Amino acid sequence: MIDFRYHLVSIVAIFLALAIGIVLGSTVLNAPLVASTEAVTAQLRARNIELQAQVSGVQSREGADDSFIADRLPLLVQGALTGERVVIVEAPGADSKLRDPIDHVVTAAGAVVTGRVTLTEKYLNAEQAAVLDELATTAKPAAMEFPLNATPYDKAAAVLAGALMTSDKAQAGKDEPAAAGVLGSFESDGLLSVEGDPGKRATLALVVAPATPYEGDTADAQNSAVVALATGLDDGGEGAVVTGAVPTSTAAGVIAALRAESDAAAKVSTVDNPDMASGQAVVVYALREQAAGKAGQYGLGSDATAVEPTPVSSSTPTPTAGAGG
């Protein structure tokens, strides 16, 4: 039989071994581990400083490039939209800081801004869809027929496009007889507000997307409603462009939804960097391309197909026989 002293010696030996292990771990083993950790930390800190310097350099170059373009923006777009009339439609949440730059660049390109239509949150509220449907059905001209599968937002888009847009330049700038009543009905119901005189019909529409993507369970429906409006405006005139500042890492929101919808993307153009001077020029070029019957998805986002539309080539006169020189 093992006596108590044996158990006591065994227990003391175990604790002694643990104590020796702790001492060795905190002295012999700890120093190399600390040194290794400090070395890795120093490397990461140096790399972080290097990357910060690179980012600062890129931002500085980008700022200089944008300032250079901004100073020459009127010359870059001069005459691009001569003879066109543009209505600006803002989705709920559109960035108000884009208002003046967009107005200025469109005007500098030779177009006339007929007015601004700003949608309210109520317009996109799913609980108001039945109200919107009834209003659109009541306000539509007698000759207008809705497709059987038209949603309330499709119907509202068609009715608003009829009041705001025309593809006939001879009618551009002239009042649509029913426009005042249509816009007044939507405005009195709290669905939109109006500035300027958008009832004097435009040939092109510029839709400004929200500054931040819609969120929550209704986000997809809200995006679809804005896409439906842009598509309706495109159908009612020479074309439409949707623009809004979108981070290059983001693949969400109205612009992403439109680009993902093949039928809409085939007709409506998008520009995802109007917060940059170069993007503002591209907005004008995209509108010009729309007037020529083409569409494209432009900007810096991962789902953009190009930075800008293909430049319009000018034909070179062919010398004729007997020409001088």
49-99 pLDDT tens trace: 766 665 555 555 555 456 767 788 999 999 999 999 999 999 999 999 999
Q: Which residues contact 113 (CB under 8 A, 6 or more apart)?
A: 85, 86, 87, 88, 103, 106, 107, 196
- Residue 216 has what DSSP assignment? S
Per-residue burial over 98-120, b if 16 or more Cβ lie within 10 Å, else e, is beebbeebbebbebbbbbbbbbb
In the three-class reduction of DSSP (H, G, I as helix; E, B as strand; rest coil), residue 202 is classed as strand
pLDDT for res 275: 94
Supply the angle between the helices 277-291 and 30-77 in degrees, to the nearest 10.
Answer: 50
- Left (φ > 0), alpha (ψ -120 to 50) or beta: where does 257 sit? alpha
Paired sense of beta strands 112-119 and 192-196, if any? antiparallel
Q: Mind giving me the DSSP string for 222-259?
A: HHHHHHHHHHHHHHHSSEEEEE----TT---SHHHHHH
Supply the angle between the helices 152-164 and 179-188 in degrees, to the nearest 10.
Answer: 130
For residue 100, give the amino acid letter.
D
pLDDT for res 191: 95
Q: What does pTM read for this prediction?
A: 0.77
Burial class, 293, CB count within 10 angstroms (exposed 0-12 / middle 13-18 / buried 19+): exposed
pLDDT for res 42: 75
Is the pLDDT score of 280 beyond 90? yes
- Residue 170 has what DSSP assignment? T
pLDDT for res 79: 95
- pLDDT-derived band of residue 139, with 50, 70 and 90 as boundaries? confident
Distance CA 65, CA 59 (A): 10
Q: Which residues contact 175 (CB under 8 A, 6 or more apart)?
A: 199, 200, 201
Instruction: Supply 6's token pair.
Output: 């044996």
Instruction: Supply 220's token pair.
Output: 């997809």
**Cβ of 44: how many Cβ atoms within 10 Å?**
10
- Residue 271 has what DSSP assignment? E
Instruction: Report the half-sphere exposure of 72 (CA within 13 A, side-chain side).
Output: 7
Q: What is the largest CA-CA distance in the chain?
A: 130
Is the pLDDT score of 127 beyond 60? yes
